[in-house]
Structure 1
Amino acid sequence: MEVLRPTLINIDGRIYRKNHVKEQVYLNEEEEDFTCSGVVDYMDEPCDSVLLEQTDRGYRCALAVPSALYK
């Protein structure tokens, strides 16, 4: 593939570049163990403070979010 002249694809009147993706395969690598061992404390997450309601259109959840987190 030429970097300065990539393959062009025409889809519905729009021209797209086809970028070459080079995938690397790593052999003989050990898998990392991401299991959790021991007791984990989740007390900082208030699960009971969120009210989840089932309505005729689906589910509804209302949260109080500080105005600094949205525009």
Structure 2
Amino acid sequence: MQATAYTYEPDTRSGSVLLDDGTPVPFDAAAFDAGGLLLLRPGQRVRIEVDGGGPPPRITLVTLQTF
């Protein structure tokens, strides 16, 4: 699934993304670390993976979207 980076706090390695419908969804350090990123800037296009749980979705991976 694709999203746009919305917030990122380097000290905690957590933040949030905006889904394409504008819904903000938070992610934690574990999801950030799983993607192997070192930094994330608001506005970057990212690929996320979510678990199969109910709403709200829980992000398990955040990485940069590449074409």
Which category of TM-score, normalised to the shorter sequence, fits these structures? under 0.3
Per the normalisation by structure 2, the TM-score is 0.19
- Structure number with higher relative contact order (C-alpha < 8 Å, ≥ 6 residues apart): 2
Per the normalisation by structure 1, the TM-score is 0.18
> Which has more radius of gyration?
1
